[in-house]
Amino acid sequence: MHEEASQESVTPLHDLSAVDLIAGYRGGQFSPSDVLEDLLAHIALWEPRINALYAFDPDGARATAKASTERWQGGQPAGPLDGVPVTIKDNIATRGDPKPVGTAAEDMTPQKADAPPAQRLREAGAILFTKTTMPDYGMLSSGLSSFHPLTRNPWKLDRNPGGSSAGAGAAAVGRSLWGVTPKSPRPARVTAGSNTRRTKLLARRAPPGGPVKSQACVIREAFVAVAAAGFAAMLPISAAFVGTSMETFNRLMIFQNWI
């Protein structure tokens, strides 16, 4: 698909939906390592300007992507998200990383184990390559943190994105693929500015016509498994769920499961 398209119409690997990534892996068009390297190059361009990431681990991600690439080459992916790069918010524990929850006052002891959302993502094969910034204890709608540098809005760099998931929103709009954030206790969130649209993450049944599920349904269910642990998935690409372009949804939608 990418080889046949003109140079102008080729979608960058870091801009593909999870469905397209998995289809590309399965068809041998590109590998998780290819996708990660494209994404890292994009991050190198944008991260110095937006300060969205924390505990960024490109070397660890490369090792994870290499293992994923080998699984796909052997026809044995680990799960429905195998090789899909994912960010995860500062306050969701990931083994080996401190959890500052946005504040300079927090103990920086590395976490001994993954929180359930991180564990579900790893089980599904996702590449957790970085965490994202947040304000102190997630309590400031401004997004300001006493620990993290000021996160900037990719659409307007002289402003910040606001919200308790400031880094996740900025990274998503800046095309760092998927990000996971804890469920908000409030129905309203301020993330990545006024262009953000919000909707609920709903588990849909497989399409009629037989027992074989579509790839979109399989990927959807993998993220629902993350949400079922009491968390919400923030996804910059809606095509994995509704088959529409990112532009249709102003580049970012937040899928929230209120349980």
Reported confidence tier of residue 243, pLDDT bands at 50, 70, 90? very low
- What pLDDT was estimated at residue 10? 83
Over range 208-230, report the average pLDDT. Answer: 59
Q: What is the CATH number of domain 10-256?
A: 3.90.1300.10
Over range 45-52, report the average pLDDT. Answer: 92
- What pLDDT was estimated at residue 193? 34
- What pLDDT was estimated at residue 198? 26
- What pLDDT was estimated at residue 229? 56
- What pLDDT was estimated at residue 51? 94
Which sequence spans correspond to the domains of the chain?
Answer: 10-256
Q: Which amino acid is at 40?
A: L
DSSP reduced 3-state for 132: strand
Whether residue 72 has pLDDT greater than 70: yes
- What pLDDT was estimated at residue 184? 37
Reported confidence tier of residue 210, pLDDT bands at 50, 70, 90? very low
What whole-number distance in Å separates Cα of residue 187 and Cα of residue 254?
A: 11
Average pLDDT, the chain: 74
Reported confidence tier of residue 225, pLDDT bands at 50, 70, 90? low
Contact 115, 14 (CB under 8 A): no
Tokens read off for 148:
């993290």
The percent of residues above 90 in pLDDT, for the chain, comes to 45
Q: Which position has the higher pLDDT, 108 or 227?
A: 108
Name the one residue in this structure whose structure tokens are 């016509």.
209
Q: In what order do the strands lie in the sheet with 178-182?
A: 53-54, 127-132, 85-89, 178-182, 231-235, 253-256, 197-200
Whether residue 128 has pLDDT greater than 70: yes
Whether residue 79 has pLDDT greater than 60: yes
Over range 101-127, report the average pLDDT. Answer: 93
Within 10 angstroms of residue 240's Cβ, the number of other Cβ atoms is 22
The pLDDT tens digits for 154-203 are: 888 888 888 888 998 888 876 554 566 654 333 223 333 322 322 222 22
- What pLDDT was estimated at residue 91? 92
Contact 117, 99 (CB under 8 A): no
- What pLDDT was estimated at residue 16? 87
Whether residue 214 has pLDDT greater than 90: no
